[in-house]
Amino acid sequence: MAIPASELPVAARAPGKCILFGEHAVVHGRPELLLAIDLYTQVAARAAERLSLNGDAEEVGRHPYLTRALAELWDPSRPPLAFTSVSRVPPSAGLGSSAAFSSATAAALIAATGGSERSHLAQAAFDIERGAQGVGSPGDTSASVAGGLVALNAGTGSLLWEVAHGDRRWQVRRVTDPGWVWLVAHTGVPRNTGETVRAVGRRLAEPDGPALLDRFEEVARAGIAAVLAEDRTEVGRRFQENQELLRTLGVSHPKLEALLEAVAPSVEGAKLTGAGAGGSIVALPRPGHEVEAQRRAARAGALAFIVRASPSGARVVEAPSMA
Ligand code: MEV
């Protein structure tokens, strides 16, 4: 579905995400599988006398994603906008808060300037996130724009769109949602995607780098096949293998390891999700053990959510009344 044109005030909502297989390796052209989760960020914009975010004019300059979105999508000759942003996606947690903010803001601004195709929104949301972060793949923003499950660099599933940066291109494909319930849990340790991606780039420049990437690819391909085959045990096993590789890359963290150990008795498998070095884990609970897994994560000090695939991606919603 395209993004329809809308008058101001306008609001849009976009989901966060978690990465099931292939984080980091995707930046180096290898396959990745992402799940858009049913935790959302909503951004509303109305014409105002001066630019502001959540009632604070200073906040705009401190928010690189908003600054970037305005530079990409809002002609300065148009009226200034007052933005309001509310979110259930924990920030700096590896759960796609910046992708959800970039996608929702881009959807709102695109709607206010005549609407467009979803593929254009996917490119715009990536340009905003990449512009603010300086590195990275379009996986997070494409999951947020598409909803459900999506794969990059995998050759599996129907093509949704292609996203480009310079002469690099990524194909984003739809993967069928098996309809499962997942656990995501945030350690509370904030992480910085840009720094972690750069550190991984240095690690992969070591002699075993290419072999490690081949192994990431093998596990991601097997993981995607297991999701498509709805084989929960195999997905759990591939999660463990993917986590082993992420440890070798140096992006795990003692708090992530403690959390993985805490949930282990009630899940098929678990791994860190996103950039790592802090942030969150994703786990596939054993059927009937979902709340137990959530409790175990909470007792270990995490902010834990039971999630499903978001049935829709970024979309325009009714703007809240703003007096
Ligand atoms: C961040 O959520 C995932 C990374 O693979 C970076 C990226 O793909 O942009 C670590």
% residues pLDDT > 90 (the chain): 94
Task: Tell which wins on pLDDT, 136 or 37.
Answer: 37
User: 96 C-alpha to center of ligand 1: Å?
Assistant: 9
What per-residue confidence (pLDDT) applies to 191? 81
What per-residue confidence (pLDDT) applies to 322? 55
Q: What is the mean pLDDT of residues 249-271?
A: 98
| Nearest C-alpha neighbor of 274 from the set 123, 98, 66 | 98
- What is the average pLDDT value for the chain, to the nearest integer? 96
Q: What is the mean pLDDT of residues 109-123?
A: 97
Residue 126 has pLDDT above 50, yes or no: yes
Can you list the domains of the chain with their CATH numbers? Answer: 10-177+310-317 (3.30.230.10), 182-307 (3.30.70.890)
What per-residue confidence (pLDDT) applies to 194? 86
pLDDT tens-digit series, residues 79-105: 999 999 999 999 999 999 999 999 999
Determine contact, residues 182/18, Cβ cutoff 8 Å. yes
User: 1 C-alpha to center of ligand 1: Å?
Assistant: 26
What per-residue confidence (pLDDT) applies to 319? 85
Residue 181 has pLDDT above 60, yes or no: yes
* Atom 10 in ligand 1: residue holding the nearest Cα: 275
Q: Phi and psi at residue 69, in whole multiples of 5°?
A: -60, -40
Q: Residue 207: how many CB atoms within 10 A of its CB?
A: 6
Residue 323 has pLDDT above 70, yes or no: no
User: Strand, helix or coil at 58?
Assistant: helix
Binding site membership of 27 for ligand 1 (Cβ less than 6 Å)? yes
Residue 310 has pLDDT above 70, yes or no: yes
- Sheet of strand 280-285, all strands in order from the earlier edge strand to the far edge: 267-273, 280-285, 182-186, 303-307
| Closest atom of ligand 1 to CA, residue 139 | 8
